[in-house]
Structure 1
Amino acid sequence: MINNLYPLKFTPILKDKIWGGQKLKTILNKNSDLPNVGESWEISDVEGDTSIVNNGSLKGKSLKDLLDVYKEELIGKHNYKTFKNKFPLLIKFIDAKEDLSIQLHPNDELAAKRHNSFGKTEMWYVFQADPGSNLIVGFNQEMTPEKYLKHLNDKTLTQILNFDEVKEGDTYFVEVGRVHAIGAGVMVAEIQQTSDITYRVYDWDRVDSEGNERELHNDLAIDAFDFDMPDNFRVTYDKTPNQSNEMVSCPYFTTNYLRINQTLQKENNHDSFIIYMCVDGDAEITANGSSEHIKKGETMLLPAAIKQFEISSKNATLLEVYV
């Protein structure tokens, strides 16, 4: 069936959020009438939010349809054996006009037991940040459950959180069990396990248009924390042009930084699909006789069955993701 497969693009699923803004529309040209677009789900197999192909002969087919038909040709033999007809990653662009809630995510074991879901290991690549804007990741001191709960109950949680001022290109690996939040003025590309399970522990005491606070999950969250995690969440990586530079590699995904200013002949030596997120410039990706254009703010999926392809650009920055 490989002759049917080609570089796939999907219709973004846009999410209105209390903390969302306008950058996904104004900077990334996402088409929406929503007032506060906080997230663009680029590739999703979350129940109720399945991505739909918007290019080529498979246009109109859902990601679930593709998995049903193409199986390991779409995601790779090992991935299909592990995940069956469930796409393993959720790919997003996020715009925080206001601070997101202070939150964390459960691990696979806890998520499966409580929610019949995967855990939510994730990473962020900052591709725009207003001056002085921050990410919150981890604590600024050694932490115990008792100390954490005291600050939570005293409403002094922000005193023990680690605030990092960020700029374009900064990258963070957020493992399950680590407290975190995207700060106001930051726009990120987010790569994560397919999961929408978030434990919200503090929401800045804000209310919606009807005066209601959002639900908190502190009873669930306390068991999900890993208070002994080292401060290893900041990612350093090379930016050598015209080659894949590893940023994050974990059991759930590998992400590389790829800056291109020429034509590259690429091989997929992984038993996996490859996703390209364009975070700057634009490029042409050619595979299996089909050529597709990708520009800043767009995402493309190369099925696992495509082993040789070409990327051509005068100036583009791509995040290259596979499992």
Structure 2
Amino acid sequence: MSPADGAERSTAREPIELPANQPKQFYRGGASIAALRGEPEAAADYGPEDWVASTTTLFGRDGTGLSTLPDGRLLRDAVAADPTGWLGPAHAAEFGADTALLVKLLDAGQRLPVHCHPSNSFAASHLNCRHGKTESWVVIGASGPDPTVYVGFREDVDAATVERWVSTQDSPAMLGALNAVPVRAGDTVFVPAGLPHAIGPGVFIVELQQPTDFSVTLEWQGFLDNQDAGHLGLGYPTALECVDLAGWTGDRLDSLVRHTHDRADPVVPLFSSQADPFFRADRLHADGELALDASFSVLVVLSGSGRLRSDGGELALHQGSTVVVPHAAGEARVDGDLVAVRCRPPVIGAGS
């Protein structure tokens, strides 16, 4: 390779379509991901998560979960070699070579267990990590008689009660204590760190989250091999300190959920400003040409087809396309007739 070729390779400019990246999980699902991508349903029923443009590994499993680019490099390594090109100067100044974002397709083939995620401060104190795991769900499909998610305790709960539920694995009590929220395609749910939650069967989402795999699983029996897999190696007495024990009702609960199914603007913001310190997402409705500002981003095409044109080149888009776009690709245009979710990292300076 000539020096010129090496310089060209080191500068990220080209939007790249990524293949599926489905590390095996403990719960069932995956049919909706296969259908979105137009692929045969996998024989194994434990591929319910597609980690898109991932620079994050599964907890305790070195390398598993990382996205590989078509040239064989890990995306993590490509970003480390050129953080400014991939992420932009402002983001690189704040986060270095850290994308500060993980995007997943998640297809719940069964109800997920009641669990929660640590905050930034908890992760820094106990897990030696800058990021906790605040997340948001963009519902893109909902099937079955009663698609439901469960978020936050309905009333204040004391720590001793939660410890008893976990020690006795009282699943009915844990699930019954949560707010049951019916959902349909077009709904979004913001899930701040600490909030206990679960996702019901038949709910298909694009999930945006901080780039960690930190989960404290309150309801481990029937899901995990043993309780040691549920507390991040901290022991439950410490791990449960991250649980939000407050009741979420009325306007406070409503602030977590948005309904956007009836909106078809060219760009539909999916989250309120409370998500800005963690991530951003818009639903794009391209009918002809739609301009996009320069940004590291992940596109998930939900329907239709078209083309993404940028300084880095031109890329065909179709239903099921998952694309990573470097900041250095510059301002981009989507041409065609399609609907997509555009995911981006935090707003610099928003705080978290």
State how far apart, in whole Å, the 2-side matches of 1:16 and 1:282 are: 30
- Which amino acid is 1:19 matched to? Y
Higher mean displacement: 234-243 or 285-294 = 234-243
Structure 1 unmatched ranges of 5 or more: none
1:102 is aligned to 2:114: yes
Q: Within 5 Å, which residues of 2 pair with 1:1-323?
A: 5-21=13-29, 22-29=31-38, 34-47=44-57, 48=63, 49-54=65-70, 59-117=71-129, 118-131=131-144, 132-152=146-166, 155=170, 156-203=173-220, 205-206=221-222, 212-213=225-226, 215-217=229-231, 218-228=236-246, 230-231=252-253, 232-237=255-260, 239-248=263-272, 249-268=275-294, 272-288=295-311, 290-323=313-346
**How much does 1:145 deviate?**
2.5
Structure with a larger share of its residues in helix: 2
Structure 2 unmatched ranges of 5 or more: 1-6, 58-62, 347-352
Cα pair distance change 1:140/1:283, threshold 3 Å = farther
- Which amino acid is 1:14 matched to? Q
Higher mean displacement: 189-198 or 248-257 = 248-257
- Which amino acid is 1:225 matched to? V
State how far apart, in whole Å, the 1-side matches of 2:286 and 2:48 are: 29
RMSD: 2.5
**Contact preservation (8 Å) 2:281, 2:344:** yes
**Contact preservation (8 Å) 1:121, 1:193:** yes
- Which amino acid is 1:247 matched to? F
TM-superposition CA deviations, 1:212-264 (whole Å, max 9, x none): 44633333332102233642311245824223435243212111222222212
Q: SS of the residue aligned with 1:46?
A: coil
TM-superposition CA deviations, 1:155-182 (whole Å, max 9, x none): 2222211111211111101110100111
Higher mean displacement: 87-96 or 233-242 = 233-242
Q: SS of the residue aligned with 2:72?
A: coil
Structure with a larger share of its residues in strand: 1
**Contact preservation (8 Å) 1:41, 1:92:** yes
Percent identity, please. 22
Q: Which runs of 4+ in 1 moved over 6 A?
A: none
**Contact preservation (8 Å) 1:239, 1:245:** no
**Contact preservation (8 Å) 1:239, 1:257:** no
Q: SS of the residue aligned with 2:17?
A: coil
With the length of structure 1 as denominator, give the TM-score of the two structures. 0.86
**Contact preservation (8 Å) 2:258, 2:270:** no
State how far apart, in whole Å, the 1-side matches of 2:97 and 2:135 are: 21
**Contact preservation (8 Å) 1:276, 1:321:** no
State how far apart, in whole Å, the 2-side matches of 1:213 and 1:4 are: 43
Structure 1 equivalent of residue 60 of structure 2? none
With the length of structure 2 as denominator, give the TM-score of the two structures. 0.80
State how far apart, in whole Å, the 1-side matches of 2:43 and 2:23 are: 11
- Which amino acid is 1:243 matched to? V
State how far apart, in whole Å, the 2-side matches of 1:30 and 1:112 are: 40
Q: SS of the residue aligned with 1:219?
A: helix
State how far apart, in whole Å, the 1-side matches of 2:72 and 2:167 are: 49
